[in-house]
Amino acid sequence: MNARICPRILIAASLCCCTPLVAQLQGTVTAVGPLAVAASTASGSNTMSTPAGPLPWSFGLFLAGPSFQEHASYSGWSSDGDLLAQLHIAYSARVLAGNGAASSGVNTVRWDLTAPQSTPVSFEIDFRDLTLAGSPQPLVVVDIGDDGVVEFTNGQPAVPGVWTAGPTPLRVRVTTYAAVNGIGQTLAGLTLRALPANGITVTQWNGGCGGFLSLNPTFVDKGLTVFSSIGDLVVLGLDAAPIVFPTINGLPCILLPRADVIVMQTVNYGVHLPLGLLPPLSFWVQSAKVTPTEIRLSPAFRVQS
């Protein structure tokens, strides 16, 4: 079979599989020890805790102190998907008036990520510190791999890398702490995103003229999911063969891919391209919204797997 025809057939066949993908990477959250928050005044203290062990997808501790001017919290949620898995933790300690105290932690959870087969994973770490000036800084420590090597602490950039999840869990340990004595607020939120590390390079080549197209690596088949608007035509080509259309609002409309494969976007969960099942491949992709009066094109992208 002609070497150029084969990838076209494989891409076209993959476009027929427009069914929702099942999460390839799944996460579970476990409290390594008891999770606790506390709030106190000179007249007494209130505490709240949950024991060590598995946690539901959404969990939380919210507490007010004896005078209701002291507040402490610790909460979180996790989610799975074929595009990413997430863990979010928010924690706070606040004293609004008086000489009370409040604390959240020290609390430690472990996020275990598993996949049916060896799956490369990278991480994004988003840390938001909303602590008031003059209040103690919150603590956060992220250990990807649960191996004693710290990849992130507040105030420091995350250490980049690629890890592997599979039947044996990839374990991520997260430790947090916040406390105030007297009026103040220590408040922070942490979001960890586990993303596919598929070795796919996506390069945008032009800005389009009003169309929409989004390309997202997936855990499934080490592939790529293409999202455009319902009714759009998604054009894929192994080579560029520019066609110039009339400008729209001063924006140049240039269709870059040669039209080797054209598919109409008929579903809102995208078109899956199982690039991990194909030999290394380079191709162009762009979407077109065709109306009786104009053609609006998305940005054009070149994909290399």
CA–CA separation, 237 and 260 (whole Å): 5
Tokens of 25: 């990477």
Backbone angles phi, psi at 87, to 5 degrees: -130, 125
pLDDT on residue 21: 55
Q: Mean pLDDT across the stretch 211-221? A: 89
| Spatial contact of 288 and 209, defined as CB atoms under 8 Å apart | no
Q: Which residue type does 52 have?
A: A
Q: Flag whether pLDDT at 281 surpasses 50.
A: yes
The residues pairing with 76 across neighbouring beta strands, listed in sequence order, are 59, 89
Higher pLDDT, 49 or 158: 49
pLDDT on residue 39: 97
pLDDT on residue 17: 44
- Taking phi over 0 as left and psi of -120 to 50 as alpha, with beta for the rest, 6 belongs to alpha
- Which position has the token pair 């863990």? 87
CA–CA separation, 57 and 48 (whole Å): 19
